[in-house]
Amino acid sequence: MSTAATPRTAPVYALVGNPNCGKSTLFNALTGLKQKVGNYPGVTVERKVGTAYTQHGQPLTLIDLPGAYSLAARSPDEAVTRDVLLGRRADTPMPDRIVCIADATNLERNLYLVHQILDLGRPVVLVLNMMDLAAQAGLQIRAARLEHELGIPVIPCEAANNKGLIELKLALSRHDLPLPRHAWDVPAALAPAVSELQASLIAADAKAPLVARAEALLLLTDPDPLRVTGSTPLSANTTRILESWKTRWTADATDWSGTLVSARYDAIGKLVAQIVVQPEGAEDGHAARASRSTLELSDKIDAVATHPVWGWVIFAAIMATMFFSIFTLAGIPMGWIEALMAAVSGLVDHVIPQGAFHSLVIDGAIAGVEGVIIFLPQILILFLFIGFLESTGYMARAAFIMDRVMSKVGLNGKSFIPLLSSYACAIPGVMAARTIEEPKDRLVTILVAPFMSCSARLPVYLLLIAALVSANEVPVGTQVGLMLLMYALGTGGAFFFAWLFKKTLLRGAPPLMIMELPPYRLPRFRDVLIQMWERGFIFVKRAGTVILALSIVLWFLANYPKPPEGAAAAPNQPIVEAVSPGPDAPRAEPAAAPSAVTAEDPLAYSLAGRAGRLLEPLIAPLGFDWRIGIGLIQSFAAREVFNSSMSVIFSVQESDDEAATRAQLRDAIRAAERPDGSKLFTPLVCLNLMIFYVFAMQCISTLAVVKRETGGWKWALFQLVYMTGTAWLVCFVVYQAGRALGF
């Protein structure tokens, strides 16, 4: 038996497997929190790298590759798996060894990917996961026989119960890990083509012999060679050979792809027949009864959970519970964060003397970061729910239910998961669209994802709802009702534009959704917590870098240049004259500043104030004035910055009591007046401003991710223009119609 060469450094293992095979559970069980999460350069596909330790303390590097059914990639994440295993990515060296995770309850399907990986001729460890579920289904897996047939270590495992981890670590620590004894008969009609393509890939494309054979088989497996080659084009000689054989087979009416796939499945079927058996008398035994009971229970749950009526009731109840938790349970930890940030501000206030630097640190850096991390509890609660829905298997059922709605707008149920993630933040929502195979559907999902009201909009909504209602305490029913209205508007906007794009710019055939419904499982709380930790860390990291930098820039724009010493203007005389709309312009209320805005007002004299004046003619028909314009400009960095902008504009003093500070801001907004003495923030203006934040693209970070995901600024700028234009048009109609009706 041949063995792999002993690596000179700690080996690097790639973890691969089908979706829902328990790969992430195994990765978390091996690495715990010793993992780094990021994106592969050039694509928004999640990259997880962790460190595990053998029983002898030897460190191992594990790369958790995205789930895939085949090396013939049909989505960006499957393409990453293919390219890493074939050594095509310069940023990720080819792994020394591969760990294949297979679902023991559905071994024949899972072994297809394993079969392709064994073609690579590299050291492989096969993990048969979910052995407990296989036993419950009445299946007996002869792991030793499978190990003998493949010539590689085969480890029975229950990752969710931490069983088999010691045996797996011992296998991973072996220096003499054997190479697979994998062999299967390529159909005689295709064997010459495989040999010729392999020789060309070695000579003309500089491939290693076994990698060349694996790629030759893939080129003949998938009718579309682009799904195999990706961004690495074939040489002219290899392309000529491939096309020559395809022309010959087409003339002979030979289905080369189907023939090769069938031959591989035949080999897998023969193998499975030898290793998967039911115990004697299983038809009447405990295992068979357990299997029937499990299937019956699953069928009974699905009969209700995916029912055309009751399925929607359950789905609505889960969504309502999730949002109720976000609005209520998050209040306690948000109060802790407020108290912590107030203590930090108080400490800094005593240490740093009054002056520009004092203002920069407290009003710029600390206030800016606080405005973001205050929503961390809400995001963690959202990901807690998403984690539970995924780990129990319900998320796939939710996508199945939503497929009926998505198909009406030209998408399928797989777009539901990115849109749901966008309720927390559009950035992970855009990233989640990578699981959608069809490029046009993926692009449409990306373009409409920011319509879903993210958690950054919540503070803006809450502030404007408080200003809209005359009472000091907003009734819960009113708050929830207006919130649901905003969420409904955003969701409706996403569906409308998805339908519009699929009918015009990105026309395509209605997509078919083929999605595996994983078995129902009890949630693994540890995995959910790790996922929450990862998302929370990414969010806080963003707050500590991007938002911190932008907050400092915005502080500078709001404070400089300073007004000249001794300068004063007549009351009500603005520094920068507002441009009045022409006589034919839509009717709007005057938008000049109140008497406090003079040359002595630093904000009016600042760059931000002047920018607000320049913007005022565009937003006056919406009922907004230059002060609101400053908030709109500043909140382009992050929507929640609008609240801090209003605090600065209306001179709300920070205090240790955050509730009192919010009450002061609410009262200041209610009291704000126009030059004619009328209220600025009328109920109509508050409602219109909320609607503007529903539809407008007010997040530069999301634009940056869209640019990276789509490969350029074209679609990112299109998204900025069409969303902001939609917000202006809708708000114009609402405001002018509201005024005409006397509101």
DSSP 362-383: IIIIIHHHHHHHTTHHHHHHHH
Q: Higher model confidence: residue 708 or residue 291?
A: 708
3-state secondary structure of 415: helix
Nearest Cα residue to 98 out of 89, 86, 106? 86
- Per DSSP, 663 falls in state H
CA distance 434 to 534: 19
**Does residue 382 contact residue 326 with C-beta atoms inside 8 Å?**
yes
pLDDT digits (tens, 9 = 90+) for 680-732: 889 999 999 999 999 999 887 788 778 877 878 899 999 999 999 999 999 99
Alpha carbon separation from 160 to 23, 27, 32, 424, 521 (Å, rounded):
10, 11, 13, 27, 10
H-type alpha helices, 306-364: 310-328, 331-351, 356-359
Highest mean pLDDT among 192-196, 382-386, 422-426: 192-196
CA distance 603 to 619: 19
CA distance 90 to 108: 33
CA distance 242 to 222: 12
pLDDT of residue 40: 39
Categorize the per-residue pLDDT at 734 as very low, low, confident or very high, splitting at 50, 70 and 90.
Answer: very high
Q: Higher model confidence: residue 43 or residue 257?
A: 257
What's the chain's average pLDDT? 79
Alpha carbon separation from 544 to 96, 132, 371 (Å, rounded):
36, 44, 11
Task: Please determine, for residue 18, whether its predicted confidence score (pLDDT) is greater than 80.
Answer: yes
Stated pTM of the model: 0.62
Categorize the per-residue pLDDT at 199 as very low, low, confident or very high, splitting at 50, 70 and 90.
Answer: very high
CA distance 130 to 110: 13
Per the rule left: phi > 0, alpha: psi between -120 and 50, beta: everything else, 390 is: alpha
Q: Where are the beta strands (DSSP E) in 591-708?
A: none
Please give the average per-residue pLDDT across 207-236, as a whole number: 81
Categorize the per-residue pLDDT at 280 as very low, low, confident or very high, splitting at 50, 70 and 90.
Answer: low
pLDDT digits (tens, 9 = 90+) for 151-189: 899 999 988 888 899 999 998 888 888 888 777 788 888
- Give the CA-trace dihedral at 351, 356, 362, 366, to 10 degrees: -120
- Which residues are CB-contacts of 351 (< 8 A; sequence separation ≥ 6)? none
pLDDT digits (tens, 9 = 90+) for 579-607: 334 444 444 444 343 334 443 467 677 88
The domains found in the chain, sorted by start residue, are 12-172 (3.40.50.300), 191-253 (no CATH)
pLDDT digits (tens, 9 = 90+) for 116-146: 999 888 899 999 998 988 887 788 899 999 9
User: pLDDT above 90 covers what percent of the chain?
Assistant: 16
Q: Tell me, letter by letter, the H, E, C secondary structure of 43-66.
A: CCCEEEEEEEECCCCCEEEEEECC
N-terminal to C-terminal alpha carbon distance within the chain: 85
Nearest Cα residue to 315 out of 387, 412, 391, 416? 416
In the sheet that holds 59-64, the strands lie side by side as 35-39, 46-53, 59-64, 12-17, 97-103, 124-129, 154-156
